[in-house]
Structures are given as C-alpha cells and as structure tokens.
Amino acid sequence: MAFDVERVRAEYPALDEGFVHFDGAAGTLVAEPVARAVASVLRGAVANRTTAFAPGRRALRILADARAAVADLVGADPDGVVFGPSATALTYTVARSLARTWRPGDNVVVSRLDHDANVRPWVQLAGQHGVQVRWAEFDPQTGALPIGQYGELVDDRTRLVAVTAASNAIGTRPDVAAVAATAHAAGALVYVDGVHATPHLPTDVTALGADFYVTSAYKWSGPHIAACAAAPQLWAGTATDKLLPSPDEAPERFELGTPSFEQLAGVTAAVEFLATLDDTAPGTRRERVTASLAAAHRYDTRLFQTLLEGLRSTPGVRILPAPEGGAPTVSFRVAGQHPAETSAALGEKGICVFAGDYYAYEYFQTMGLRDSGGAVRASVYHYTTDDDVTRLLEAVAAQA
Ligand SMILES: Cc1ncc(COP(=O)(O)O)c(C=O)c1O
C-alpha cells in the first residue's frame, strides 16, 4: 500500500501518549528518525566547522547534507538554502537585507491573508525606508485571495511582493505563480511563506515563481529550525549585516553565528523520513519525497473532507469560509463560546486544538473576530486517523 497510516504512526513515539493531535499547524510531532539523528549529534564527536580534524569535518557534512535535504524537499538549489532559528527570524534577516536598496517612492505589497511573519517585517522595514505598503485583500465571504488585484497593486516601483503559499488560519492556497508572474513582469521580487504549505503538498519553488521560499522544519516532523531557499546568485548579490571575520560567501553570510548542528541533522532525517511516507515510491530523494507528500495529501484530503462535513452538520458551529483545495486546516467557532473555552474543553479530553489568531493578525482583524478571541483551529496531518476525526467531532458536538 502506498500510504499506510499505521506504519507511519509507528514512527511517532509521542503518539503513544494518547493525545489526539489537530495542532499540526502550530507544530507537528517529531518522527523517531529525527529524534535519533538529533541525539546522535549531541552524543557524538561533532565539533565546530573545520577541515582540520574529523569531528569538524562532520559538522561541515551535516550542514551540507541539510542544505541538500531542504533543496530536495522544495525543489531548490542546495547552495541557495539558508538556515535560521525560525521563519520569522529569517524573514526579518531577508527584509533588513533587501531594504538596504529600497528608496522613498518604492513600494512593497503584502497580503491580509498572511501570517504576521510575512507581513510585519516588510511593513516595519518599509516604514524605516520611506517605502509605501500596499495591501492585497482576501474576500471575507470566500476566504480566497483574488489575484486580479495584483495587476493594480504592482507597478514599476514595487520592490517586493510577499504572499503565503497557504493560510495557516483557513488553508487557502493562493495562486502564487500568478502573483509571481505579475510581480516579475514589473521587476519585483517575490517572497513566499511556505511554512503552512510545505507539510501538506509537494513543493516546487520554481513552479511557484518564488524568489525566496521560507519553511520551518517543526511543521513537517522535524526540529525547531527554519530554512529560506533562493537562487545562489540572489543571495550573492544581497548585502547583509554580519560580523567582520564571519564568512563573506553566501549562503553562509546570512547564517549568523554557529549553526545548530543537531537540528540540522534532524532536518536531513526529517526529509529522509518524509520521502518514505509512500514506501513504494521509486527514484531520487526528490522524486520520492514528492511522491510521498502527494500520497499523504490524498490521505489528508479524504480525512479533512470528513472533518469538514461533520463540522458543517454540527448545529451551532460556524466555519470560517475557505476555498476548496487548500491545506487541510479549518477554523471555526462554537456559538456562544469563547474560542479559548472550546480549546480548553477539548484539551480536557486530550484533544489538541489551538484557539486565538495564531498570528494571522490581519486575517482576524479583517474578519472582525480578533478582539473576541479569533477562532478554534483544527489541522489534519498524515498521522491523523478516522478515529481522531470522530473523537474531535463528538467533542465539538458536546460543546455546541
Ligand atoms: C504560515 C506561517 N508562517 C510563518 C510562521 C512563523 O514560523 P516560525 O515559528 O518558524 O517563525 C508560522 C508559524 O506558525 C506559520 O504558520
């Protein structure tokens, strides 16, 4: 069988604790091979980077392997993969670096569908450089991000368009390739937040038209570390703040301080693991990870449909609208109940769902729901089962 959920679940020792996890959008459980890889670096002789002795060469190998792994995961060039502590930190680094060349009269385009990590760094850097901020609006009735508006938002003074590959609140997957085509025609760069998209679908940064693509490993069974992929020549042509003696070359120039070798080893193990989700998939690691994520997506989609239908038929539940075909994440509210109350009541039953705005700040502001507690979010991942969905629906029905 291409995707065998019981085989996959056996690789997540944390599932033995018995919680029901619909909180993958905030961070997934870690796969056992990842934990082993992290521990083996911490237990073994791994020094700081040097070619002089073997433990130092191991560190160099770990970093190179992790770049290659992320490159296979998202279809990028390994020499253009930069690591950092989080997607937020990496986006600030890129924003500060790119903004050095922005001039008053330039503009940047951000979207109200995005997580604040792909909004505020651009807004704040724009403010510091006298650059105008233009807002792409989502449709509150459908949750879609209409692409037509980019024709009006983007002009020859647009330096950057920031857009999400999937909303972490409602799963919407905007037509990033179309946004990128509009941006590129005007000479603007495109920064894509792939944090919520990467775990759920195969990614091809070239097909997306992403100049920069950021993703966090803790959303795809890995450790708490993030990567930003771009063409090596784009990094090479971008100046950044750095220490005098630290490497001048890209991508190292953008990685401040000593990297976390244990987490980098975990990144490689996570990609290797994802490539086995479909254990019949042949070919290179890139081909296997692509086929595996496609198989996991088919599995998730079926479960997510069951979840949506169940929520729709539960009286008192209001689902925040989202277009078909998004990431398997839904936000909802139970009538007369603060989202935090719903989340806590489900938590009492061992069911993990987040409540709040999950940093999708502009989305919840626009929906007029931020001040009243946002919503409750349930996200399906490839270790979710039919039984988990039934338990969640029963628990929500008991609250409604
Ligand atoms: C869509 C999206 N973008 C960005 C982030 C921020 O990621 P990080 O925690 O790695 O900074 C998150 C985290 O939840 C997210 O869901």
Among 274, 301, 334, the domain-final residue is 274
Query: Do 192 and 206 sit in the same domain of this protein?
Result: yes
- Residue 286 inside a domain? The answer is no
Please count the structural domains in the chain: 2
pLDDT in tens, the chain (400 residues): 589 999 999 999 999 999 999 999 999 999 999 999 999 999 999 999 999 999 999 999 999 999 999 999 999 999 999 999 999 999 999 999 999 999 999 999 999 999 999 999 999 999 999 999 999 999 999 999 999 999 999 999 999 999 999 999 999 999 999 999 999 999 999 999 999 999 999 999 999 999 999 999 999 999 999 999 999 999 999 999 999 999 999 999 999 999 999 999 999 999 999 999 999 999 999 999 999 999 999 999 999 999 999 999 999 999 999 999 999 999 999 999 999 999 999 999 999 999 999 999 999 999 999 999 999 999 999 999 999 999 999 999 999 8
Q: Quick check: is 126 in a domain? A: yes
Q: What is residue 228's three-state secondary structure? A: strand
pLDDT digit string, tens, across residues 351-370: 999 999 999 999 999 999 99
Bond from prior residue into 251 cis (ω within 30 degrees of 0): yes
Atom of ligand 1 nearest to the CA of 167: 1
Work out which ligand 1 atom sits closest to the CA atom of 85. Answer: 10
Q: Residues 107, 161: one domain?
A: yes
* Any domain includes 190: yes
**Residue 239 falls within a domain, yes or no?**
yes
CA of 70 to the centre of ligand 1 (A): 17
Looking at ligand 1, which atom is closest to the CA of residue 218?
A: 10
- Ligand 1 centroid distance, CA of 357 (Å): 12
From 23, 88, 94, 361, mutation site for ligand 1 pocket: most ligand atoms within 8 A of C-beta: 88
- Structural domain including 138 reads 35-274
Whether residue 117 is found in the same domain as residue 247: yes
93 C-alpha to ligand 1 centroid (Å)? 15
Residue 284 placed within a domain: no
In a domain, 191, yes or no: yes
Domain boundary among 248, 274, 300: 274
143 with 228, same domain: the answer is yes
- Residue to substitute in 92, 113, 114, 168 for testing ligand 1 pocket (most ligand atoms within 8 angstroms of CB): 168
Instruction: Give residue 245 CA to ligand 1 midpoint distance, Å.
Output: 31
DSSP codes, 241-268:
---SSS--STTGGGS-SS--HHHHHHHH
If asked whether residues 114 and 142 sit together in one domain, one would say yes
Domain finish residue from 208, 243, 274 = 274
Q: Residue with the nearest Cα to atom 14 of ligand 1?
A: 26
Please tell me the predicted confidence (pLDDT) of residue 400: 85
Residues 42 and 160 in one domain: yes
114 and 259 inside one domain: yes
Mutation test of ligand 1: which of 70, 198, 213, 359 has the most ligand atoms closer than 8 Å to its C-beta? 359
Q: Is residue 86 part of a domain?
A: yes
Residues 173 and 158 in one domain: yes
CATH number of the domain where residue 302 is located: 3.90.1150.10
CATH number at residue 250: 3.40.640.10
DSSP string for residues in 57-87: HHHHHHHHHHHHHHHHHHT--GGGEEEES-H
Q: Whose CA is nearest to atom 12 of ligand 1?
A: 195
| 258 shares its domain with 325 | no
Answer yes or no: do 250 and 313 share one domain.
Answer: no
Q: Which residue has the tokens 């038929």?
A: 313
* Residue 196 in domain: yes
- 170 shares its domain with 192: yes
Give CA angle at 367 (181, 319), nearest 5°: 95
| Ligand 1 lining (C-beta closer than 6 Å) | 26, 86-88, 115, 117, 164, 168, 193, 195-196, 216, 226
- Is 143 found in the same domain as 270? yes
